[in-house]
Structure 1
Amino acid sequence: MITYLPLRISKPLGFLLTITTYLLQGCSQKQSAETAKPPVSDFMYQYSIIDALLAGVFDGNLTLGQLKTKGDFGIGTFNRVDGELIVDQGNVYKIRYDGSIQEVPDTDSTSIAFVKFFKADSTFIIKNITLDELEKKLLAVLPANEMYAIRMKGHFEKLTSRAPGAARKPYPSLKDHLAKQQHLFNLSNTDGVVAGFLLPGYIAKVNVPGFHFHYLANDHKSGGHIFDFTATELTVEIDKIQGYTVELNTHADFDKVGLEKDRQEELKKIE
């Protein structure tokens, strides 16, 4: 069952969600070249690339204070892959390997993160749905070549997530690290927020194609990288991304790693 809230069209290319068809399509208007140019705030900012993390580049020089100037919403991890990172409403939280949550000081650093200034183009409510069902519905209506930031808030009957423990040097690949340091959480009857992205396949090697979500409970007592959920009611907000900028990892390890290997199968196993 889907109940639609009043649609917010904040950009010339917005979304229209119809009750009968789930059709979500862009609305275009004639504009001058000046007004047609999307604002920088409508771009996703990315620090480092996913293949570097997969290959074991677990440190970076970007502080969280600097990250917050690039966006108020997003996901990532910390140096040494010390937990899962979620940015919501301008605050940065760490979900640790033991399931605890802490708000992180601006002086801490990240090895990879993806953020933007979130402003929903469309909002709807959906009830009694699994993550897999929701993803299929969104894929059926969202153009495959576009990029989207997705924020969801509601009640989850069940939710499975993970958070990694910190790595020690010499760093292994991410797959090998998670094989030993991935901690799973099976949550029940939890209320919270989901932050993440839906990105197209052509960004492989740079970011994670498809859906990528992190969770933060309202009571700040649980969260993590999401594997699955069953939600009784969700408010879903979708923000279409007009483009993205990538800042290469500035840590010395980035220049030493080989990035020629195709790591997509590794990525599928850990995502």
Structure 2
Amino acid sequence: MKNTNILYQHGTLALLVPGLLKGTLTMGELLKHGDTGIGTGEGLDGELVILDGVPYQVLGTGEVRIMKNEATIPFGNIHWADFKPAGDIKKLALPKLEEHILKNHSANSFFSVKIKGHFSGVTTRAVIKSNPPYKTLAQTASDQRIFERDTVEGTLLGYFAPALFAGAAVGGFHWHFLAADHNFGGHVLSIDGINGQLTFQDLSSLDLHLPTDDADFMNHDFNKESDILKVISEAE
């Protein structure tokens, strides 16, 4: 039986900071743990949006393709979808949506949010894939492309992690978007207007999987990394 209360996460945001961007888990393996999620490819190769078990990869060129099972990732979140309706959203900008959610839910637990509907003023980004030797997260993420749509139908998918877990995950909200026609998406920078049904799923457990088979990760001294949370915040 699929446990819909578990958020499975491969890797951490903190390990990306010094440039540990090697793919250390296959997409096929990730999909054994859920059908809905977000993440990035090896070398920060674009932005992942996993819906109904299909891993869509928004590349730095703007192209959207389906990631193959043998492709690898350094970081990803996934869970088994069991979203519950939580009311209709009309003409809310993204910050107001976040305020609305946190007025009705504690900020001390993990949860996922999905909205299918009509969106206006959507700005996303995707990072251009880098190759070894990898640079730091901040340096790699600076080579990104910005995409915009005045109006678009699609799905907004997000995860919320308590501030206590910042570094392991993205503290607060982390949003990705995929257009209904699969021709636009990425990591969300801003949305001016959101119209659709808000659906919500509590995730009471975090299953954190670390790349212990990767020598670079196992031998890295994270104690020497300074301002990890600041770097993550700027990169996101």
TM-score normalised by length of structure 2? 0.94
Alignment deviations for residues 12-55 of structure 1 (CA, whole Å, 9 cap, x no partner): xxxxxxxxxxxxxxxxxxxxxxxxxxx73320001011100122
Larger Rg: 1
In structure 1, distance between residues paired with 2:119 and 2:222: 38
The equivalent of 1:48 in structure 2 is 11
The equivalent of 1:60 in structure 2 is 23
Answer whether contact 1:55 1:257 (CA < 8 A) is retained: no
Structure 1: gaps of 5 or more residues: 1-38
In structure 2, distance between residues paired with 1:218 and 1:48: 29
Answer whether contact 1:131 1:230 (CA < 8 A) is retained: yes
Choose which of 59, 66, 70 in structure 2 pairs with 1:103. Answer: 66
In structure 1, distance between residues paired with 2:103 and 2:221: 37
The equivalent of 2:228 in structure 1 is 263
Could you tell me how far 1:140 is from its partner in structure 2?
1.8
Choose which of 87, 109, 117 in structure 2 pairs with 1:124. Answer: 87
In structure 2, distance between residues paired with 1:196 and 1:144: 14
Alignment deviations for residues 67-112 of structure 1 (CA, whole Å, 9 cap, x no partner): 1110111100011111111111111010001111001111111110
The equivalent of 1:69 in structure 2 is 32
The equivalent of 1:239 in structure 2 is 201
Paired residue type of 1:80: G
Answer whether contact 1:52 1:254 (CA < 8 A) is retained: yes
In structure 2, distance between residues paired with 1:253 and 1:109: 16
Could you tell me how far 1:232 is from its partner in structure 2?
4.6
Answer whether contact 1:154 1:231 (CA < 8 A) is retained: no
In structure 1, distance between residues paired with 2:210 and 2:86: 33
Q: Secondary structure of the residue that 1:80 maps to in structure 2?
A: coil
In structure 1, distance between residues paired with 2:17 and 2:68: 26
Paired residue type of 1:207: A
The equivalent of 1:189 in structure 2 is 151
Alignment deviations for residues 97-156 of structure 1 (CA, whole Å, 9 cap, x no partner): 111100111111111001100101343211011001111111222112111011111111
Paired residue type of 1:84: E
The equivalent of 1:144 in structure 2 is 107
Q: Secondary structure of the residue that 1:215 maps to in structure 2?
A: strand
TM-score normalised by length of structure 1? 0.82
CA RMSD of aligned residues (A): 1.5
Structure 2 residue 188 is the aligned partner of structure 1 residue 226: yes
In structure 1, distance between residues paired with 2:198 and 2:84: 11
The equivalent of 2:98 in structure 1 is 135
Answer whether contact 2:49 2:56 (CA < 8 A) is retained: yes
In structure 1, distance between residues paired with 2:154 and 2:215: 37
In structure 2, distance between residues paired with 1:152 and 1:231: 12
Which 4+ residue blocks in structure 1 deviate beyond 6 angstroms?
A: none
Answer whether contact 1:155 1:192 (CA < 8 A) is retained: yes
Paired residue type of 1:238: F
Q: Secondary structure of the residue that 2:138 maps to in structure 1?
A: helix
Q: Secondary structure of the residue that 1:41 maps to in structure 2?
A: coil
Choose which of 176, 186, 196 in structure 2 pairs with 1:214. Answer: 176
Q: Secondary structure of the residue that 2:4 maps to in structure 1?
A: helix
Answer whether contact 1:74 1:86 (CA < 8 A) is retained: yes
* Aligned residues with identical type, % of pairs: 28
The equivalent of 1:80 in structure 2 is 43
Paired residue type of 1:94: Q
Q: Secondary structure of the residue that 1:207 maps to in structure 2?
A: coil
Structure 1 residues 17-28: aligned runs within 5 Å: none
Could you tell me how far 1:251 is from its partner in structure 2?
2.5
Answer whether contact 2:94 2:194 (CA < 8 A) is retained: no
Q: Secondary structure of the residue that 2:21 maps to in structure 1?
A: coil
